[in-house]
Amino acid sequence: MNIKDIKELILTIDRTSINKFDIELDNLKLSIEKGEGVQKKVVTQDDDVKEEVYTQAFEKEENVKNEEDLHIVNAPLMGTFYRASSPDAPPYVNIGSKVKKGDKLCILEAMKLMNEIECEVEGEIVEILAENEELVEYAQPLFKIKI
């Protein structure tokens, strides 16, 4: 196992709901444990002013203000997310793409089977929540569609 493999393992575990992972290979013992993403600290200054500081590992900017106009497409199964039918093919959809019911959105590969995920509503893709070739969990949000 080289450093690239370890980085990929860390990224894969970070994208899942696994909180702790241990592996032992020949001369390597690796233990990965997720910390909390949001921490709240109270800092006191000389003039007795309290300031709350929030830190978060990843922040996503919300593009659409009205959540009621959004349809979330969730993964119907656990698998590897692909935006296109092959590595050299264009993605099925991009941010801003107009979609209608039945349009292909992505492929989820599970147990060497390619499962095409189709759109259930008519609208516009406003956010793609998974990265290409990322392992996604069952019911993980994949797309936000403005309807």
pLDDT tens, residue order, the chain (147 aa):
677 777 787 778 777 877 787 888 777 777 777 765 544 444 444 444 444 444 443 343 444 456 678 999 999 999 999 999 999 999 999 999 999 999 999 999 999 999 999 999 999 999 999 999 999 999 999 999 999
In this prediction, residue 50 carries a pLDDT of 42
Provide the number of structural domains found in the chain.
Answer: 2
In this prediction, residue 1 carries a pLDDT of 67
Residues 81 and 12 in one domain: no
Residues 116 and 139 in one domain: yes
Residues 49 and 94 in one domain: no
Is this model's pTM higher than 0.85 or not? no
Residues 21 and 54 in one domain: yes
CA distances from 89 to 44, 49, 96, 123, 127 (A): 55, 57, 19, 23, 20
Residues 8 and 52 in one domain: yes
Q: What angle do CA 18, 20, 25 make, to 5 degrees?
A: 110
Which DSSP symbol is given to 90? P
Helix (H) or strand (E) holding 105: strand 104-110
Q: Which domain holds residue 77?
A: 67-146
Residues 22 and 93 in one domain: no
Retrieve residue 48's tokens: 């007795």
Distance CA 38, CA 36 (A): 6
Residues 44 and 97 in one domain: no
Helix (H) or strand (E) holding 8: helix 3-14
In this prediction, residue 2 carries a pLDDT of 74
